[in-house]
């Protein structure tokens, strides 16, 4: 029992804010197997390459990498399987309507454990940024860094 379980697990998709312009965000539950939640609580997951898509009127998260749990027996999980997202019916209908617009996609932005101990996934309806917008983001980030340095000294 030398493992450190962290209650404040926050796995971010830092690349998403650089590549996409966020239009709307949602908090979704995520359907997991027993060993998956144990790996998430240890912080052994990545949502960098993740995306969400509809299949049969339900929303699924793909390419979310949850490392197999080390202490599991034969019943371990696949690391990159499709996982069903749990949203209210109105939220799903809203996303389906908005997803019909060309150029919009749904990406995971944050995987965390809430106060009750459940794994939650923040997802965002996003539109891809143009190259000029990405440059602008870099300039803003650089300016903020320079201001912070000036305030420290």
Helix (H, G, I), strand (E, B) or coil at 57: coil
Domain membership flag for residue 22? yes
Domain membership flag for residue 87? yes
Domain membership flag for residue 3? no
Token output for 53: 């898509």
Query: Which CATH number belongs to the domain containing residue 98 in this structure?
Result: 2.40.280.10
pLDDT value for 3: 47
Domain membership flag for residue 2? no
pLDDT value for 7: 57
Domain membership flag for residue 72? yes
Domain membership flag for residue 119? yes
Best CA proximity match to 12, nearest among 47, 60, 50? 47
Q: Rounded to two decimals, what is the model's pTM?
A: 0.76
pLDDT value for 139: 87
DSSP letters, 84-142, are EEE--HHHHHHHHHHHTSTTEEEEEEEEEE-TTS-EEEEEEEEEEPPHHHHHHHHHHHH
Q: Cα-Cα-Cα-Cα dihedral of 96, 89, 108, 125, to 10°?
A: 40
Q: What is the full per-residue pLDDT of the chain (153 aa) written as tens digits? A: 444 444 578 888 888 888 888 899 999 999 988 788 888 888 888 899 899 999 988 999 999 888 887 776 767 767 788 899 999 999 999 998 888 877 788 999 999 998 888 899 999 999 887 877 778 888 888 899 999 999 888
Domain membership flag for residue 1? no
Q: How many domains is the chain partitioned into structurally?
A: 1
pLDDT value for 1: 40
Domain range enclosing 35 = 10-152
pLDDT value for 122: 94
Domain membership flag for residue 5? no
Best CA proximity match to 26, nearest among 127, 125, 104? 125
């Amino acid at each position: 029992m030398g493992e450190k379980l962290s209650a404040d697990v926050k796995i971010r998709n830092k690349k998403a804010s650089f590549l996409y312009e966020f239009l709307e965000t949602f908090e979704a539950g995520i359907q997991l197997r027993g060993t998956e939640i144990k790996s998430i609580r240890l912080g052994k997951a990545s949502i960098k390459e993740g995306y969400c898509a509809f299949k049969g009127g339900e929303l699924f998260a793909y390419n979310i990498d949850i490392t197999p749990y080390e202490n599991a027996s034969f019943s371990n999980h696949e690391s990159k399987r499709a996982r069903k997202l749990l949203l209210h019916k109105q939220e799903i209908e809203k996303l389906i309507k908005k997803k019909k617009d060309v150029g919009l996609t749904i990406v995971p932005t944050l995987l965390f454990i809430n106060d009750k101990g459940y794994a939650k996934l923040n997802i965002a309806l996003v539109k891809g940024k143009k190259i000029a917008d990405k440059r602008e983001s870099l300039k803003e980030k650089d300016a903020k860094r320079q201001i912070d340095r000036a305030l420290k000294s």
